[in-house]
Structure 1
Amino acid sequence: MQNRRQFSRVLFSTDAQVIFNDHQYPCKLLDISLHGALINKCDALTGCTNNDAILRFTLPQSDIEIKMEVVVCHIEADHIGLKCRHIDIDSITYLKRLIELNLADDELLHRELTMLIHDAQ
């Protein structure tokens, strides 16, 4: 199977919340990229592919919250893939730094940021 991923994911396990249909559900963030996230299976999202939600989490040992509007892309046996539709400037700044620290490849990160900007236009 060919990997079509355009954005590097970094393993980042932390508690998170998914807001769906005006209700907040706890989940565990498994990994993250500039373009989406992978969370553990959340029963509230079962059968909800293509629905909008909000993913938010706080960086460990800080008050920094990252919040992104997402769409549910795929639901597997034990995880759910989310694609980012919108992220505010503060959240993308912190997310960029988080990925930068974990990738250790500035050139790759800047290429991905360029792709993200072009996808948004």
Structure 2
Amino acid sequence: MEGCVFCEIAAGRTAAHRVLDEPEAVAFLDRRPLIKGHVLLVPREHHETLTDVPPEALGPLFTLAQRLAGAVQRGLGAAGSFVAMNNKVSQSVPHLHVHVVPRDRGDGLRGFFWPRHAYDGDGEAAEYAARIRAAL
């Protein structure tokens, strides 16, 4: 879809720290991570919300979400992960995306009032992306 930043990333026209590149979806680091290593999984085909996705595309998408959750934990040494999506409300980009966030006890995330933790620079973001890619 024209003007959609996630479509542009999926097509390779906008740079992102990719961790997964599959025929049905791509995953990349969130530019405003809740926790460093926060990944967004987006289908290549533009769908605004979960209810817009054709049923036959859901299985492949969530199989990738499952793989990413494991990779984030293994690659970053996290105790667990948080996997979620918003539909319209709190959805900053109107393109379906699944958040996969590494979690550890005492990481500061409480309820839904979460601080953001920026990367120290492009090099650190690239390192996090590489660690998750290697764990896939």
Counting helix residues as a fraction of each chain, which structure ranks higher? Answer: 2
Counting strand residues as a fraction of each chain, which structure ranks higher? Answer: 1
TM over 0.5: no
- Higher RCO, Cα 8 Å, sep 6+: 2
Report the TM-score, using the length of structure 1 for normalisation.
Answer: 0.31
